[in-house]
Homo-oligomer: A and B are copies of this chain.
Amino acid sequence: MLVAEGAADSEVLVEIASLARAAGVPVRVVDRGQLSAAAQTESPQGVLATADPLPQAELEDLARRHPGRPAPFLVVLDGVTDPHNLGAVVRTAASAGSSGLIVGRHRAAGLTAAAVKAAAGGVEHLPVATVAGIPNALSALAAAGVWTVALDPGARKPVWGLEVATEPVAIVLGAEGKGLSRLARDRCELAVSIPMPGPIASLNVSAAAAVACFEVARSRTTQAD
């Protein structure tokens, strides 16, 4: 772990360094220029740790029901290329109780440093599976008994009160601007929209993910009562 010179002025950095040392992590104090050069994000906040690569989850594991645990609640991102949006979705999905995220390998944001930072701890809790193609992954999920639900602004059925929310379910979100690819949309078993009563009808993908994920969370808690 690298800590910026002058970090002793910051209570939280002192605490981070002390926790790291207690855990046996070597801590080196460097000047701010060195830290910025080593960082892969804009405006690093005075500390940088090198970690093992995140473990990769397998699609089949994410689709499987585990006894004593809620039914799988997955989020599938089709062609989301902005790492901040990816990170924001990870954070929101983890908070809403999602059990896994599925992203494509191509034309998609990876879990870069910027995405991990935006996820604010979420990546440590939400298993992520990277797949070669989203359409095939959707077919595999359906075959494994997971309802695939496209979030599609053109769908007439609202996301409110989604009947399959308590069953194994995957919420499928498209890219900012372009939306879901035709192929991905066609592979989904259901399509729902977020009704937007306002004068504009435009949600960032992370806002749409927040609304849809917490609608699943709401249905799961209120239907379980």
Contact = CB atoms under 8 A, between A and B. Distances in A.
Interface in A178-225: 194-204, 206-208, 210-211, 214, 217-218, 220-222
A206 B158 CA distance: 22
Contacts of A98: 198
Number of copies: 2
Contact of A88 (B95, B200, B204): B204
A95 B199 CA distance: 7
A194 B207 contact: no
B211 A214 contact: yes
B210 A197 contact: no
A8 interface: no
A214 B204 CA distance: 14
B88 A207 contact: yes
A208 B96 CA distance: 11
A195 B221 contact: yes
A120 B207 contact: no
A198 B94 contact: yes
Nearest to A90: B200
A88 B209 CA distance: 14
Given A121-B200, A121-B202, A200-B122, A91 B207 contact: yes
Contact of A196 (B97, B201, B202): B97
A32 interface: no
A65 interface: no
Contacts of A92: 203-204, 207
Interface of A: 70, 88, 91-98, 120-122, 125, 158, 160, 194-204, 206-208, 210-211, 214, 217-218, 220-222
Given A120-B200, A194-B214, A207-B207, 8 more contacts: A88-B207, A92-B203, A94-B198, A122-B200, A125-B199, A195-B218, A203-B210, A207-B210
